[in-house]
Chain A
Amino acid sequence: MHVPDGFFNAAVSVSAGAVAAAGVAVCLRGARRELDDRTAPMAGLVAAFIFAVQMLNFPVAAGTSGHLLGGALAAILVGPYTGVLCMAVVLLVQGVFFADGGLTALGINITIMGIVTVLVGWGVFRLVTQLVRGKGGVTIAAFLASLISVPAAALAFTLLFWIGGTAPIEVSAVAAAMGGVHVLIGIGEGLITAFTVGAVLAVRPDLVYGARGLASPLVLRGPDGVTTVEPAARPATAGHGVRPFLLGGVGLTLLLAGVVSFFASSSPDGLEAVAENKGFLDQATDHLMSWSPLGDYGEVGGIPVGVAGVVGVGIVLLVAGAVAYAARTRGHAPAAGDDQVKV
Chain B
Amino acid sequence: MNSLEVSRLAYAYPDGTQALFGVDLTIGRGERVALLGPNGAGKTTLVMHLNGILTAGHGTVTVAGTPVRKDTLKEVRRRVGLVFQDPDDQLFMPTVRDDVAFGPANMGLTGEELERAVKGALERVGMLEAIDRPPHHLSFGQRRRVAVATVLAMEPEILVLDEPSSNLDPAARRELAEVLRSLDVTVLMVTHDLPYALELCERSLILSDGVIAADGPTRELLADTGLLAAHRLELPYGFAIPAPAEPA
A touching B, CB within 8 angstroms: yes
Q: How many residues of B contact A (CB 8 A)?
A: 10
Q: Does A292 contact B (CB under 8 A)?
A: no
Bitwise interface map of A from 213 to 254 toward B, beta carbon under 8 Å scored 1, else 0: 000001101110111111011000000000000000000000
Q: Identify which of A41, A218, A223 contacts B15 (C-beta below 8 A).
A: A218
Tell me if B55 and A226 are in contact (CB < 8 A).
yes
Least CB distance, B34 to chain A, in whole angstroms: 24
Q: Does B48 contact A (CB under 8 A)?
A: yes
Q: Which residues of B contact A226 (CB under 8 A)?
A: 14, 54-55
Tell me if B57 and A227 are in contact (CB < 8 A).
no
Q: Which residue of B lies closest to A44 (CB)?
A: B92
Tell me if A233 and B92 are in contact (CB < 8 A).
no
Q: Which residues of A contact B16 (CB under 8 A)?
A: 218, 221
Tell me if B92 and A228 are in contact (CB < 8 A).
no
Tell me if A219 and B15 are in contact (CB < 8 A).
yes
Answer whether A228 and B54 are a contact pair too, CB < 8 Å, given A41-B92, A219-B14, A221-B16. Answer: yes
Least CB distance, A223 to chain B, in whole angstroms: 7
Tell me if B14 and A232 are in contact (CB < 8 A).
yes
Q: Which residue of A lies closest to B44 (CB)?
A: A229
Q: Which residue of B lies closest to A233 (CB)?
A: B14
Least CB distance, B98 to chain A, in whole angstroms: 14
Tell me if B48 and A229 are in contact (CB < 8 A).
yes
Q: Does B241 contact A (CB under 8 A)?
A: no
Tell me if A229 and B54 are in contact (CB < 8 A).
yes
Q: Which residues of B contact A230 (CB under 8 A)?
A: 13-15
Q: Which residue of B lies closest to A45 (CB)?
A: B92
Q: Does B183 contact A (CB under 8 A)?
A: no
Q: Which residue of A lies closest to B17 (CB)?
A: A230
CA distance A316 to B243 in the complex (A): 81
Least CB distance, B73 to chain A, in whole angstroms: 10
Q: Does B179 contact A (CB under 8 A)?
A: no
Q: Which residues of A contact B25 (CB under 8 A)?
A: none
Least CB distance, B37 to chain A, in whole angstroms: 18
Least CB distance, B243 to chain A, in whole angstroms: 43
CA distance A221 to B15 in the complex (A): 8
Bitwise interface map of A from 261 to 274 toward B, beta carbon under 8 Å scored 1, else 0: 00000000000000
CA distance A222 to B54 in the complex (A): 13
Q: Which residue of A lies closest to B52 (CB)?
A: A227
Q: Which residues of B contact A229 (CB under 8 A)?
A: 48, 53-54
Q: Identify which of A222, A225, A227 contacts B53 (C-beta below 8 A).
A: A227
Tell me if A228 and B57 are in contact (CB < 8 A).
no
Tell me if B14 and A221 are in contact (CB < 8 A).
yes
Q: Which residue of B lies closest to A220 (CB)?
A: B14
Q: Which residue of B lies closest to A225 (CB)?
A: B55
Q: Which residues of A contact B55 (CB under 8 A)?
A: 225-227
CA distance A203 to B15 in the complex (A): 17
CA distance A219 to B15 in the complex (A): 5
> Of residues 202 to 248 in B, which have CB atoms within 8 Å of A's CB atoms?
none
> Of residues 148 to 207 in B, which have CB atoms within 8 Å of A's CB atoms?
none
Bitwise interface map of B from 1 to 33 toward A, beta carbon under 8 Å scored 1, else 0: 000000000000111100000000000000000
CA distance A41 to B57 in the complex (A): 28
Residue among A225, A228, A230, A232 facing the most chain B CB atoms (10 A cut-off): A228
Q: Which residues of B contact A41 (CB under 8 A)?
A: 92
> Of residues 39 to 64 in B, which have CB atoms within 8 Å of A's CB atoms?
48, 53-55, 57
Q: Can you name 16 A-B pairs with beta carbons within 8 Å?
A: A218-B15, A219-B15, A221-B16, A222-B13, A223-B14, A223-B57, A225-B55, A226-B14, A226-B54, A228-B13, A229-B48, A229-B53, A229-B54, A230-B14, A233-B13, A233-B14
- Chain A residues packing against B (C-beta within 8 Å): 41, 218-219, 221-223, 225-230, 232-233
